[in-house]
Amino acid sequence: MATKILLPIDHTDDRSWKKALPVALEQAKFQGAELHAVSVIPEIIKLPNLPANYGAGAKDHVRNAVAAILANGNAADVPVHIEEGSVYREILKLAHKDGFDLIVMASAKGDFPNYEIGPNLARVVRNAHCTVMVVRD
């Protein structure tokens, strides 16, 4: 039984949360677990050829976008984690560090051979220390 559930959200792609958010809320309610959301800002903002302040305000922007998604999904009280770096690595690090025992992730439509499993989802499923629930589109 899960006690802490992590829901990765990409605020630029509604497929990452449209079906997964209701499932995560349902699982949290059913299992009496805490639900947290995470969004990862890609490591491109750390490239050496970009200005020093490039990406300033990115965390606030993403946090506000994710908070709006959660509010619209009747989950305004869900804590939001904003990380920077490699998407799958940051999801895995947070899940391990903070003791999450279930990750709920949405699949995305893709081309053969990855039909609905993108690279980040595949790596999370393969390397997570805990159960990963894949919500298919």
Q: Output the tens digit of pLDDT for each of the chain's 137 residues.
A: 899 999 999 999 998 999 999 999 999 999 999 999 999 998 765 666 666 666 668 888 999 999 999 999 999 999 999 999 999 999 999 999 999 999 999 987 655 555 566 788 989 999 999 999 999 87
For residue 20, what pLDDT is reported? 96
Residue type, 39: S
Q: Which stretches of the chain are assigned E, i.e. beta strand?
A: 4-8, 34-42, 80-85, 102-106, 131-135
Record the tokens describing residue 8, joined without a space. 């990765």
Domains defined for the chain, CATH in brackets: 8-99 (3.40.50.620)
For residue 102, what pLDDT is reported? 98
For residue 45, what pLDDT is reported? 57
* Contacts of 18-22 spanning 24+ positions with Cβ under 8 A: 18/106, 19/106, 19/135, 19/136, 19/137, 20/104, 20/105, 20/106, 20/135, 21/69, 21/70, 21/73, 21/75, 22/73
Burial of 97 (0-12, 13-18, 19+ CB in 10 A): exposed
Residue type, 75: A
For residue 44, what pLDDT is reported? 64
Dist CA 80 CA 83 (whole Å): 10
Pairing between β-strand 4-8 and β-strand 34-42 as defined by DSSP bridges? parallel
Dist CA 28 CA 118 (whole Å): 25
Q: What is the pTM of this model?
A: 0.88
